[in-house]
Amino acid sequence: MLKVRNICMLQPRRWRSGSKKRWNLLQHKKNNCDRALDSFDDFYGSVYGGRWKNMRAALLTEHKYVAMVNNFGDTEQTCSMLEMDGAINIKSLIQLAQERQEENATNSSQFLGEEKRAHYDIDDKLDALLRKQQEREVAAIYPTDDNHVQPQQLNYERSQQKEENLDTDSSYEPSLTRALEEDVQLDASRLVDPQFGTGGLYEYMPANTIKGMEDWVAESEHYKYYQTSADFSLAIEPEQNFKYPEHLAIYTYEMGNCSDFKPPRQCLTGVLSHFLMDGASVLPPLFLQVLPGERVLDACAAPGGKSLLMLQTLHLDQLICNDVQESRLNKLRHVMQEYLFDYKQRWAGQRLIFSQSDARNLDEFDSYDKILVDVPCTTDRHVLMHQDNNIFKPTRIKERLRIPELQAGILANCLRLLKPGGSLVYSTCSLSPVQNDGVVHMALQKVFTEHGITATIKDLSQQTALLGDIYKFVQPKGLKYGQMVIPYLPANFGPMYFSKITRNT
């Protein structure tokens, strides 16, 4: 005899109304990473065109690391372990590239790849983006009907919001004219006398200011930081001197190999064997070319990977690590304690000095030989992968749009901190031309206008050509002041922009 069992089917409940939200709305609710991706698709898609699709895929994939061997641990054993796993010393790859350049000196341009020969004009694209963004903002504020006239450009200058200038502001004339034609009585004081009733409350009064506009930053203002016309003294020349530090050992896997490195192990000296970091992050401190006897500043040092690399060259007599927050400095101290042997006796307070300050307020002018200026930025890869501390959070939009202003302030002040003849490297982990070339231009203009400081841009194209087997560089013609590593799936490093500047006077 067959037994029949009752089978109960559970079906997800969809809330139709009330305080509970429907499940499909919750599924498609936008988070901070989604907002960042939408912004990048709109901005970078217009700037980089067809190549953005590949860059986008790489940004949404876990990035590739390199392993920097700790010279204060079991160096030989660590190098052997990494080589047994198939990793390659970057130093050997650079030597091979140098040999190829010597053999093909007349055709050295071929090592820059097809990227250098493909030219696209970022200036025109950013101008178009600015116009499009302004049109969006105008449409959002002014309705698009036949009875309203839209201004060609929004003006957010406070000086033009003062009452004495209202009479000459032509943007309100159409509204006033229509009001007068309709015989509407305008009560300037807007005071209602009870004996005449409350009819005055409903009379038409044209608005002359937007509440809170003085604290609002337009998205289109973000693009205005990118300028191309130089009205200050500037020289651009090739960087002739480049020497890879003899004692610096950094390992990577060949292009297309996405193997993971083994985690660091503790050495006999008590420190960790190697430090893992994004491969593009090694380039700014490497191109800074620190030398023995130099006084060096890392203006925005945390979390500490670039500072540690400069110490691993064994060249530095003194490194000053500065950051604005105590919590970030604590992370930096923790890294140094893990990797520097006899940290308290030999390093802290002597060869390694910590400073907590906004880099815009440092005032040891004309005192540093080299400065690394790795400024806060939109951190393009981070904001697509992590919700926490995301600059695209709605409450941080004003902070995000003012990032170029912060970056230019830091760079301009660091140029003043340099000795005449000293060099700095400015870097970001952003693809934005505004935060990269745009900020360099702004800072150079500021120090020339306000302090009479002139500078020379060092063209690093010859040096980046030596690293073409490891990184994917954007073509130099699209950049005026620097070079950039772009995300690329077979070599998923970056993004990383860097510009080397030498102070003249």
What is the structure's pLDDT at 100? 86
Strands 496-503 and 483-485: antiparallel
User: Of residues 348 and 67, which shows the higher confidence score?
Assistant: 67
User: For the chain, how many residues are written?
Assistant: 505
User: Of residues 162 and 351, which shows the higher confidence score?
Assistant: 351
- Quick check: 204 pLDDT over 50? no
Q: How far is CA 410 from the centre of its chain?
A: 13
**DSSP 8-state code for residue 344:** I
Ramachandran area for residue 252 (φ above 0: left; ψ -120 to 50: alpha; else beta): beta
Q: Which residue has tokens 């993971």?
A: 260
- Quick check: 297 pLDDT over 80? yes
CB of 427 within 8 A of CB of 496? yes
Lowest model confidence (mean pLDDT) among 158-162, 295-299, 311-315:
158-162
- Residue 79 among the catalytic residues: no
How far is it, in rounded angstroms, from Cα 253 to Cα 260?
Answer: 9
What is the structure's pLDDT at 130? 77
Lowest model confidence (mean pLDDT) among 144-158, 307-321, 442-456, 467-481:
144-158
Ramachandran area for residue 390 (φ above 0: left; ψ -120 to 50: alpha; else beta): beta
Domain 52-126+225-503: homologous superfamily in CATH? Vaccinia Virus protein VP39 (3.40.50.150)
Please, which residues have CB within 8 angstroms of residue 206's CB and are 6 or more apart in sequence?
Answer: 172, 175, 176, 179
| Banded model confidence at residue 403, pLDDT cuts 50, 70, 90 | very high
Catalytic residue chosen out of the listed positions 267, 300, 414, 429? 429
What is the structure's pLDDT at 226? 65
In DSSP terms, 435 is beta-bridged to none
- Quick check: 203 pLDDT over 60? no
| DSSP state string for 425-450 | EEEES---TIIIIIHHHHHHHHHHHH
CB of 218 within 8 A of CB of 157? no
- Quick check: 166 pLDDT over 70? no
- Quick check: 111 pLDDT over 50? no
- Mean pLDDT, rounded, for 433-441: 94
How far is it, in rounded angstroms, from Cα 464 to Cα 229?
Answer: 26
Q: For the chain, what is the mean pLDDT? A: 81
Long-range pairs for 185-192: beta carbons < 8 A, 24 or more residues apart: none
Strands 295-298 and 318-323: parallel
In DSSP terms, 372 is beta-bridged to 298, 425
The pTM (predicted TM-score) of the whole model is 0.78
Strands 496-503 and 418-428: antiparallel
- Quick check: 95 pLDDT over 50? yes
Lowest model confidence (mean pLDDT) among 53-57, 139-143, 418-422:
139-143
Kindly provide the residue ranges of all beta strands, DSSP E only, lying in 155-294, ordered along the sequence.
Answer: 234-238, 250-252, 274-278
Q: Which residue has tokens 């005026």?
A: 480
State which amino acid sits at residue 203: E
Please, which residues have CB within 8 angstroms of residue 418's CB and are 6 or more apart in sequence?
Answer: 366, 368, 369, 371, 424, 503
How far is it, in rounded angstroms, from Cα 260 to Cα 165?
Answer: 64
CB of 352 within 8 A of CB of 378? no
End-to-end CA distance of the chain, in Å?
Answer: 102
- Residue 24 burial (10 A CB sphere; 0-12, 13-18, 19+): exposed
How far is it, in rounded angstroms, from Cα 321 to Cα 341?
Answer: 18
How far is it, in rounded angstroms, from Cα 330 to Cα 496?
Answer: 25
What is the structure's pLDDT at 271? 96
| Banded model confidence at residue 177, pLDDT cuts 50, 70, 90 | low
- Quick check: 138 pLDDT over 90? no
φ, ψ of residue 211 in degrees (nearest 5): -60, 125
| Banded model confidence at residue 408, pLDDT cuts 50, 70, 90 | very high
Residue ranges of domains in the chain: 52-126+225-503, 173-207
- Mean pLDDT, rounded, for 372-399: 94
- Mean pLDDT, rounded, for 158-173: 45
Gyration radius from the chain CA atoms: 28
